[in-house]
Amino acid sequence: MTVFDHKDEPHDEELIQRLRKIALEIRKDVLLMTTKAGSGHPGGSLSAAEIIACLYFHHLRYDPENPQWEDRDRFVLSKGHICPALYSALSRAGFFPREALWTLRKIGSILQGHPDMKKTPGVEASTGSLGQGLSIGVGMALAGRIDKKSYRVYVLLGDGELDEGQVWEAAMSAAHYRLDNLLAIIDYNGLQLDGPVNQIMSIEPIAEKWEAFGWHVIEIDGHNVRQILDALDFAERIKGKPTAIIAHTIKGKGISFMEGKVEFHGKPLTEEQLKLALKELELQEKLLSIE
């Protein structure tokens, strides 16, 4: 297992600040989208903001003008209910106009309540039935090996999703086939729909479980941009086995009255709450600009 403690700083501060700012912008989009829609899953979307920002605005290879480019990296959002964060990133990356964000969950919109690969440019897999994303990722990684392609496959899973047995079947398959082009990222915010993950179905000791299944494990602070970038880079150097990044996060991160609150798993903000939340994000953005 690898634990980053940040003694080394291979990424420059300008990049770190840029990605932190993008994460704030993703959070703002998530809250605006879900409040306007009157439904959605803001809590887990906020906890994954830095992870998605680092992937889409520094790490992944893709071409928004050619979403089916054969050599692109693949990203599978296994916890499909947090798609507002993904949609924000895809729009900012140029896959579709930002105006589409405000049609979230509307009839006929390209942005449904869970990712739809047939409707949304840039979406690699239709997800939302939890537990299936890692199996999809294994198939993509195997296809890349067979086709002699250099692309990598990234799968973002929820911690509550690890209750699903299919996740562990996929984990065994990935290790069996030595898929070192596959990376699983676990958004470990400690809460799922009905309450604390470890009260509903304990997943601990989580790092040791992934290691026992034959994966290299990296444990990080999932809101620390430098740690995320270091982990993504380090994972590419692991050969002969897949890698799992356990990213410790906070549900509702960035909004004081949402942090660690299970009720915001699938409940949008009221208009009044939205005003308060946007003020908090604006203050964070100002503080970031003077650091």
Residues 243-260: pLDDT tens digits?
A: 999 999 999 999 999 999
3 state SS of 51 = helix
Residue 2, pLDDT above cutoff 50: no
**Shortest CA distance to 111 belongs to which of 74, 84, 78?**
84
Burial of 245 (0-12, 13-18, 19+ CB in 10 A): buried
Paired tokens of 131: 């537990």
Which residues on neighbouring strands pair with residue 185, listed in sequence order?
A: 156, 245
Residue 286, pLDDT above cutoff 70: yes
CB-CB contact of 42 with 31 (8 Å): yes
Q: What is the mean pLDDT of residues 30-40?
A: 98
- Return d(Cα 85, Cα 55) in angstroms, integer: 12
Instruction: Tell me what percent of the residues of the chain surpass a pLDDT of 90.
Output: 95
Expressed as residue numbers, the domain containing 24 is 2-290
Residues in the chain: 291
pLDDT given at position 261: 97
pLDDT given at position 6: 41
- Return d(Cα 229, Cα 208) in angstroms, integer: 23
CB-CB contact of 210 with 182 (8 Å): no
pLDDT given at position 5: 42
Paired tokens of 95: 């896959």
- Return d(Cα 140, Cα 135) in angstroms, integer: 9
Distance in Å from the first CA to the final CA of the chain: 33
Question: How many domains does the chain contain in total?
Answer: 1
Residue 242, pLDDT above cutoff 80: yes
Give the tens place of pLDDT for each residue, 185-224: 999 999 999 999 999 999 999 999 999 999 999 999 999 9
pLDDT given at position 163: 96
pLDDT given at position 101: 98
- Confidence grade of residue 1 (pLDDT, cut at 50, 70, 90): low
- Return d(Cα 194, Cα 200) in angstroms, integer: 8
- What is the DSSP-derived secondary structure letter of residue 269? P
Residue 7, pLDDT above cutoff 50: no
Give the tens place of pLDDT for each residue, 121-138: 999 999 999 999 999 999
Matching residue, tokens 């960035």: 254
CB-CB contact of 77 with 60 (8 Å): no
pLDDT given at position 10: 60
Q: Please state, rounded to an integer, the average pLDDT across all residues of the chain.
A: 95
Instruction: Tell me what percent of the residues of the chain surpass a pLDDT of 70.
Output: 97
pLDDT given at position 42: 98
**6 φ, ψ to 5°?**
70, 30
- CATH number of the domain encompassing residue 140: 3.40.50.970
Cβ count within 10 A of residue 39:
13
pLDDT given at position 65: 94
Is pTM beyond 0.75? Reply is yes
